[in-house]
Chain A
Amino acid sequence: MIRLLRILGLLVLIAVVAVGVLFWIGRDRGATPAASVDLANLGPDQRQQMLERGRWVARAADCAACHTDPDGGSDLAGGLPMVTPMGSVYGTNITPSTEHGIGDYSADDLYRAVAQGVAPDGRNLYPAMPYPSYHRITRADSDALWLWLMQQRPVDKPNRPDDLMFPFNIRPAIAVWNALFRPEAEPFDPQGLENPQGEYLVDVLGHCGECHTPRNLAYALTDDHLAGEVIEGAYAPDLRPDALARRGWSGEDLVAFLHRGLSPQGVMTFRMFPVLSHSTSHLSEDDLSAIADYLADGTQLPGPQQRPPGGATAMDGHALYLGLCAGCHGDNGQGQPHSSVPLDTNTTAMYRDPLNLIRIIAEGIPERDLAQGERMQAMPAFGGMLSDQQMAELVNYLRERWGGRPGDVTTGAVTSVLERNESH
C-alpha cells in the first residue's frame, strides 16, 4: 500500500513538474521583432501609406469578423459571441478607447497580442483570437495595423466577460496550451515561396484554417490543413485542391465568390457572410486571384461539372422538391438570378456531412445584400413544414440528384442535427 502511494506520489510529482515546465515554456512569449519604422517620426506620405496598408491588413485579417459590435455602430467595439464546445467567448473592444479598448497599446503590445496571443499585462488571450495563424504577420503589417487602429473612433464599451466552463476559464492554463500548440512567432518571409501573397492571405491574415482546418481534442489545429471542420454548428468545407475540383470550383468562380459572395457553387452563408462583408469583398482582384491560386495549388480546377444522374431518386423526395423548392430553384435546379441560387451546381449537397443542407432547409437564409451590388432574396424556413422523415427524404433527393452523394441520411440523423442546432 505504501509502495503504491509512493509510486502515485512520484507520478503526481512528475505531472506537476511537467505542467510547470510547459507553463514556463508557454509563458515565454518569444522574441518580439523591432518596430519596422520609427512610429513617432513618420512623414505625412509615409503615414498615409501606412494607414492605407493598415486598413488593408484589418480587412484581410478580418478583425471585424469577431470584434464587431453585434448591436451595431462599430466594427471594432466587440461583444460578438463565439460559441465553442467549452463555452462562449466574446470579441473584445479593439477601438482606441483607453478605458475599454486598446488605446494604451504600444505597437509592440499589438504585435505581441496578434502574433503571440499575449496581452500587455501578460495575460494570455484565448486562442479564439487566431494568433496561431497570425503568428507569421510581418512586423511592418502589425505596425501599419496599429497605426490604423489608433486612428479609429474610440468606443467606450466595456468588454463582456467570457462564459467558459471550468477548467477552460483558468486563463493561465493557456500557457500550457501555448507550449504545446502555439507556433513560434516567425514573421512571414516571402523568399522562395511560389505564391507568397496567396499564402500570406490564406494562412496568415485570412486565417482560413481557423474554421476550415480540423481541430484536435485540445481544440488546436491539426496538420490536416484546410480539410474541413464543423464549427459553430456549421460545416466549414474542405478547401484542399482535390475537394475543390470535385465540387466543381474554378479559379474564376472562387474569385467571384469571394468578391461578390455568389457563384454557381453557392452563396455566402453562416459565418462566411460576415467574412464577405468585412473582408473578402474589399480585397483587390489580384489578392483574390492569389488566394484562388494558392488554394488550387497547381491543380486544374475544372469548374461546374455536368453530373451523371445519381441512383434512383426517391419519389417522395421528388414530390417534396417540386412542391416546396422548384417554385424558386426550378424543376431542374437552375435557380433564378439574384433571387434563388442554382442547385444543379451548388456545393452544399455535395458535402459528406448533411449538416449545412439540413440547417439551411430548416432555418432558411435571410435576405442579404451581398457585395458589389449583388443580393439575394430571403429563403423561407421549412423546418415547421417538414417532418424529420420528410426532411431526410428531401435531403437525400438533393444529395442524390446534384450532390453525387448517397441518399443515406436517416430520419434520426436529421432529428439529431435539428435538436443540436435549436439554439443557433
Chain B
Amino acid sequence: MAGRINFTASINGQQVGPLDLPEDLMMVELLQEYLNLTGTRLSCGQGVCSACAIIVDDPEGGSRTVPACITGVAWLNGKTVRTIEGIAGRDEQGDPVPSPVQQAFLDHFSFQCSYCTPGFVNAATVLVERLERAPIPVEDVEDAILKALDPHICRCTGYVRYYQAVRDVILSTPGLTIGTVAAAERPA
C-alpha cells in the first residue's frame, strides 16, 4: 500500500495543489484524471515513445522534457511544469494562437493522427528555447534537431515533416543560430 504525499506544483503557470495524492502516482494520471488536462498522450507507458513528454522548467538547469508516463508526482512535487495545454499563446480576444512551433507543424502538415504531436511540440519548444539562450552554428542545426526529436516515435508521417518544420522555425527566427545559411538551403 503506497503512502500519500502532499503535492504542489506550477502547471502551465497555474498553482496546483496542495493535493493529497498517492505517492506512487505517475504524472500522466494526475494530468488526465485529476486535472482534466487530457492533451498529454499516454502511449507506451514505458518511457520509450515520448508521446507523453512534458516540460519541466528548472531555473538553474534550464528546461527539459520528461516522459509523464514514468515520471512520478514524487519527483515533480514543487516543480514548474508545462504541458501541451500551456504552449499556445492568446490573442487580445483570449483565443488561442499557435506557438511558432505549433504553426510550423500545421504549415508543414507534420502530423496526421496527431497522437505523438504534443510530445513533438514540447521537445521542439525546449530546443528552440535552449537556442534562444545559447545559439549554435547554422551547420549544427540539423544534428541538434535530430538529437532533440530522436526519442519521439511517429507512425504516420515518417518524421521528415516534423524535422523540416523545426528547421524552418530555427532558421527563420533571429538569434537562434550563429552564421548564415547558404541561399540554397534557406527555407522557402
Contact = CB atoms under 8 A, between A and B. Distances in A.
A319 B48 contact: no
A326 interface: yes
Contacts of B48: 339, 377-378
A385 B56 CA distance: 11
Contacts of B64: 384-385
B32 to A, nearest CB: 15
Contacts of B39: none
Contacts of B24: 322, 326, 331
Interface in A296-348: 319-320, 322-324, 326-328, 331, 336, 339-340
A323 B46 contact: no
Nearest to A323: B75
Given A320-B75, A322-B23, A326-B24, A331 B69 contact: no
Interface in A366-381: 377-378, 380
Interface size class of A (residues with CB under 8 A): 10 to 19
A362 to B, nearest CB: 15
Given A322-B74, A336-B46, A377-B48, A327 B69 contact: yes
Listed residue (A319, A323, A331) with the most chain B CB atoms within 10 angstroms of its CB: A323
Nearest to B76: A323
Contacts of A336: 46
Interface in B1-55: 2, 5, 23-24, 26, 46-48
B74 A327 contact: no
Contact of B71 (A324, A331, A377, A384): A324
A319 B74 CA distance: 5
Nearest to B56: A385
Nearest to A320: B75
B61 interface: yes
A131 B169 CA distance: 58
A253 to B, nearest CB: 24
Nearest to A378: B48
Nearest to A322: B74
A361 to B, nearest CB: 14
Contacts of B77: 319, 323
A326 B47 contact: no
Nearest to B58: A385
B72 A322 contact: yes
B46 A377 contact: yes
A384 B60 CA distance: 12
Given A323-B72, A327-B71, A384 B47 contact: no
B70 A328 contact: yes
A327 B61 contact: no
B149 interface: no
Contacts of A331: 2, 24
Contacts of A327: 26, 47, 67, 69-72
Given A326-B24, A328-B47, A384 B74 contact: no
Interface of A: 319-320, 322-324, 326-328, 331, 336, 339-340, 377-378, 380, 384-385
Given A323-B76, A385-B64, 11 more contacts: A319-B5, A319-B77, A320-B75, A322-B23, A322-B72, A323-B77, A326-B72, A327-B67, A328-B46, A377-B46, A377-B48
